[in-house]
Structure 1
Amino acid sequence: MLMMMQGIEVGRNLSSRLTETSFTKGRYRLHLGNDGDLRLLTLNPETLLESDIYFAYYASNTKNQNPGIQLVFNESGYMYVLQRNNSRFYLKQDVPVSSKDFYHRAVLHFDGVFVQYYHPKGGDGGWRWAWSQPENICAKGFGTDLAANEVGNLACGSNNICILGDNQRPRCECPERFVLSDPSDSYGDCKPDFEMHSCGAKSNQTDVSLYEFVTLEKTNWPSGDYKKYSNYNEERCKASCLNDCFCAAVVFRTICWKKKFPLSYGHRSPTGGSDTFIKVRKLTAGVPNTGRRGRTRDWLIITCSVLLGTSALVNFILLYMKRNKKRMAKKPNQRRYTGAATAHDLNLRVFTYRELVVATGDFVEELGRGAFGIVYKGVLKVSGDSEVSVAVKKLDRVAQESEKEFKNEVKVIGQIHHKNLVKLIGFCDEEQSRMIVYEFLPNGTLASFLFRRPRPSWEDRRRIAVEVARGILYLHEECSEQIIHCDIKPQNILLDEYNNPRISDFGLAKLLMINQTHTLTNIRGTKGYVATEWFRNSPITSKVDVYSYGVVLLEIVCCKKAVDLEDNVILIDWAYDCFRQRRLKDLIKEDLEALDNMDLVERYVKIAIWCIQEEPGKRPNMRKVTQMLEGVAQVNDPPNPSPYNTFTCAESMSN
């Protein structure tokens, strides 16, 4: 990272980190060469040696007669290459804000994008994007002399698709029927979840009955062609690939290009372009789908039941499970954090109170507060001069159970890993001080994202709605122990640098004192996020989270708070009456993107109303909610969620 008044001398580097969470040196360098040229370089990912450079994907071209002698990041926030004759080559001609009122910093991210950010002095607006280089790291070729226009996307591995996100940062996505080779590395290689076809000794013909195509819209793979046809239509292009055992995929856009595995430089463009058709093994072709959890094991059991008979099958299953258990026990733990004290049984770092005092600067910068306590921003040293930002939550309302009980609860939280849940790094349990340390997410809460003007894009809101539901579903049904969150609301949903939602505070409800369990929100007497069970002394089940999610879904659709005291609006009542009166457009006035997607708006509003039914038995579970959101389950018209309370759409709009 570079701060103002820092720079790079000739022959020196600014290095990226290895991953988003590892501060080991990664594969990208910002390097001012001996020839005076400033370049962004990528190294061989296998060796990461400074001498093993793959290519440059940006160059300032400040060499030859007037070479650069220093990269300068001056006090005004401008960055330039100072040349021998004192002329300046500016990496960006304009900086959006003055350094008088804003701090500036520049970061070479682990994905290879070099970004300058600014932050208001004395403000809490977070770091904002100013400019980045390259402008599109997913694009093929950047025109540098070393890359020879054959760079391709840098951030994603083989068979992986690069998609340009916010702030010109990439994200990677495996195609359908492919899974990550390393599940912890979304930027790595993707492998097929089916048996690859191979060519026989006498023929390159494919058994066409075994294969079909999956379609990747607006996706191109500009490298790896081995044949092309200019006079084919789409069907003839696909048929040619289907009958060719060498062919893994075809890209069609007036011309037919045949590709072999592995596919490289995949790029999806929202503005359109070519479509790719990947040849995959049919799921009904009798071959085990090894990419799906458990399918290989099931296939083995079915096969052995035919070959060995029932009694032999039992012996086979016992032997298989015994060997599998031993193999899992031998796997090394690769996710352990380094530090002074580590709880090996929890796979979490155990912090002393003093360590967290130092990390937070004596708990100065407050990020937020809620039912469980106050959250502070901190910075931890990882190795050498490397640092990582964290969020430290002081649990000031936690029951003082035994140390063993506290650690058992933290252990449950620490074992939960899902892309839509905030990751736990460690904890402190020292006398009366109990704290939990999480990863720090830079884009704040969903509340600050939704309740702003102009509204966030409809596509971002739609994606966030689905991903939040998936995170809750994981807590309810897919982790080792069911977890009821009990406090789902936008303030407890955080956004990472790509605006992907991560649910926080899950599992903490069990740490509250018994007499605190009914005070998870300060909207007790008003309809907010709290299900009616809390006020009826009824059993608390996972349906309380379903209720809260329904409220959040309405907030995502309308970009309006659950309880708006200024406008005298209770969102759930207003939304139902607008739905009942077929006036849903009143919920999204001036939201042009949402107005263009009224079918989806209506679907989401109906799902939300089902979720907020006062009778828990009428609410769907989160699996059903997710299926309805994704369009794979029908959504019927819901009944009045609160029959004894009415609030009309017309009344809400007149206030």
Structure 2
Amino acid sequence: MACVYVVFLLFFVSFEAVGAQEEPPAGFITLESATLSPTIQPTSWTSPSGLFAFGFYPQGSDFLLGIWLMDEEKTLVWTAHRDDPPVPLDAKLLTINGKLLLRTGQSEEKVIVESASFAFMRDSGNFMVYNQSFHVIWESFKFPTDTILGGQNLTTGAQLFSNLSETNHSTGRFRLGMQPDGNLVLYPVDALPMVLDAYWASGTSEGGNVSVIQMYLNDTNGELVLRNSTNLVKRAILYTSSRSAKNTIYSARLSYDGMFRVYSHSFDSNSNGDKSVLWSAVDEECQVRGFCGLNSYCTRNDSEPYCVCLPGTDFVDSNQKLLGCLKNFTEYSCNNIYYSASYHMGTMSMEECINGCLEDCNCEVALYDKNGYCSKRALPLKYARSDENVLSAAFFKVGKKSIEIKNDTSFIPAHTTEVTTTSTKDLVLILVITVGFITCSFVSLAISGFFIFKFRVAKYRRLLEEGKRGLMEELKMQSFSYKELQKASRNFKEELGKGAFGTVYLGVLHKGKKLVAIKRLEKMVEEGEREFRAEMRAIGRTHHKNLVRLLGYCTEGSKRLLVYEYMSNRSLADFIFKSRTRPPWDERVRIALDVARGILYLHEECEAPIIHCDIKPQNILMDDFWTAKISDFGLAKLLMPDQTRTFTGVRGTRGYLAPEWQQNIPISVKADVYSYGIVLLELVCCRRDLKVNLSKPEEIVLSNWAYKCFVAGELYKLLGGEEVERKSLEKMVKLGLWCIQDEPALRPSIKSIVLMLEGITEIAVPPCPTTTSM
């Protein structure tokens, strides 16, 4: 009986333990029954000690979803979807069918994480989400924004991005990256990872790729170290401290001004999160490259840094002087114009240096150093600084305003006659004439105003009949006149590019402070007017960080123009085909993900799905921060007069066309997936899909060669000696081969592509595309 009793007791204890696992531990939040709202309590979930909170953080009249430290400043340490607009008062955080969603409107929802059952806001500042089995499936520490906290680390390949300003928490102008070579480096965001662009480095590089390294912030004393993540061996100590203060939170933050600092936040009995700086990567703000933005340099006034515009430029925003300066004139003239291919003039006198720049319309700045060497530059200047030890002088070409005074003696009277009137009749006559003249003037102005008003009313009614006003209200875009765009582009003077459906010109709006790209459409037909308006409505409603934004339009008479945001770093084709050296592998992987996310928005997140029909490197543009954005979406459809709902008309670019275009069958979104696959392989190899001038015939068609190298296990041949991580290379090539399958059903959806690139979904071995077997 004793044995039976023991067995029964063990069974009972085991049963109780299993049953206990179904209840969440203390402090855990059951997501299925919990919601957050900016205006209805609770607006946040706090950690057990109350030091941290996760929820809706006030941002002006709107809110951000984030995590903040409960000090006096309510310091924000993490932000969700930081580059999206702040959410309104009616936003909600809720869970539906296991998906933790941020609802920002009646039908607008953003998935935070799937398969979510429980959450916990830890005292370390880490917000963690668990599944039904209490396994961690997501945590904020794995996705830092501008800050890491005590106990958190920054692993190889991860980056911190500064905020845009003190009050704007979107991605800013500086980044801190843990590089594969073991070096921790600070760069401006719009710079490539090169030594010349860095303004601080830990100096721990060992060359080539090393084992995974992490920057770790000690939660006990605030010590900042670089260490090996596998055996926790310290490689370098960036900041050391012997202090071990209780009730203290430590953070390392990359501020909006580019300064990377370690802070302590004291929560003892005498303070409520008093903040103090323990360590800074650089000594002062003027050492930060690009601190003042383009065409500006940093200096100090009573130990405070301030920015000064270069001659001939003014601040983009006088209230935010860190955003840089733009030229305060739009054009200038010079004699004996010629265009110089080189911007280095060599050793010469100062006068020769000045004249050489004046005679070259490409030159806007001449730099003359102490050794007598002259070099020419064109604006904008990226890292301007005042350094008397290097330069002897700098000369800037500025706008010249001249006033011409006619010196014509025929307008100067030979003598002056003094007229004196003493008669009352004369005074009355002058008064009557004056009053009569004024009255006639008012009557004339009234009549003119009446007719102008009638004309404007008639024109406005005509516009209403044509639907222009309704179009503008729906799109919420600016409607330009043809003369406005003609003036903005200086009569379409500077051409940025030319395609099958129109030419793109550089334009300047808002008194020279906003650069835009103006596309003048061609091949428009009268029958396509209704189609043009329908496509404009579809394009105008799209808004995504990986799509080139449409700012305005012109529909005047037969003229059709579109105004887009200006993309300063040109196209992906220039980036990967024309660069002297291959862009860094991590940058190419990031660009591939940017493009996939843009296509995902067009295919699945728009109100009406849009098939781009012409995905290619020339239609993928790069902004100031090297973010890839898709352009010309929908233009092929709106410009083709023979468009049908079955998409039977062939459109796009040879080499990127899916096989079904030639088979007279309906076109689906999988046609874009095929084009994306070709672009992906071109990104991997930094060469075009078709390259005829090659000694080896098997390398002429990239897609064929890539499959042969994959089957033979020789993917390294695709890189021409470049060294990258094998698994990352294999993932990109396998995904590209899946995308270019001849059968549309075999190609993955664009959503699956994004998940594969993010490492969430595994990629199976692709079959041989039929085209590669021919």
TM-score (norm 1): 0.50
Please give the TM-score of this superposition, normalised by the length of structure 2: 0.43
Q: Select the structure of larger CA radius of gyration.
A: 2
